[in-house]
Amino acid sequence: MKPPIKIAVLDDYQDVAMEMADWTAVNYQAEVIVYNDHISEPGPLIDRLQPFDVVCVMRERTPLNGDILRHLPKLKLIVSTGFRNASIDLVAAKELSIEAQNTGYFDHGASEMTWALLMAIARNIPVEVNNLRSGDWQTTLGTDLRGKTIGILGLGGIGSKIASYARTFGMNVIAWSQNLTAETADGAGAVLVSKETLFSDADFITVHLVLSERTVGIVGKKELSLIKPSAYLINTSRGPLIDEAALIEVLSDGKIAGAALDVFDTEPLVADHPFRKLPNVLATPHIGYVTKDTYQLFFNDMVAVLEKWLSV
């Protein structure tokens, strides 16, 4: 009798994977083990994954590079949530005859989260909530959105939604990316400007670029030095798009009003990281896509992929 198929579900931080879909058929044909913790070191990760035929990953939480994959001789299938997962070495997977499949994805979660962070930091909502709980009343002055300028780096699906939200709130919308044209910007209700103009003129700057070799650190010391002292930076895309050390420096020195961040260079964020402590940082734990609707889509699609694969 051949040993049962073993399936690992990684990084289920909220312990909800089994609740979001009906795993009955999969559990009948395979042994499914769900992990709620995160392993970042390659050695312990390899030790954990070696017994498994299938690994299910939440997009870009646990990287699966070529070296890790080469140490997993039993692995036959990777199922990742989302349309793409840049942290999986697909070339190595193909060389090793490891199949890789993806689930569907809702892109409205990230844009909604971006706007929630923008409004929260503009109106000092976390500060006022905490102060109210401590017995205080009206301790800060908020920043209006109407009439202000928002600068959007990247006018793809999410950036275009942000432009639409901004126009609804009466904001001026400017945009820049490496290949953005004036015609495309105009179609999204934005004005194409130079990168320098965007950083120097915007009251709110929000980043919506795909992380790649040419976009790593695209917001660096030079760009951060151009931001007005009264302006805010928002990043719900990917941490490495911004030079983290340079951002910590300008925030620590009070050279910009603040930053609202949902993504970081290393996740989960270490316990003593400055972003957990700086008073002008509003930080959330990469929850832009962490919604019930999105998770139900992720795990129902994951189950469908597994059922089909197990039936072959």
- Residues with active-site annotation: 238, 267, 286
* Ramachandran class of 41: left when φ > 0, alpha when ψ lies in -120 to 50, beta otherwise: beta
Is the peptide bond preceding residue 279 cis, with omega within 30 degrees of 0?
A: no
Please choose, from the candidates 201, 193, 268, the residue with its C-alpha nearest in 3D space to the C-alpha of residue 228: 201
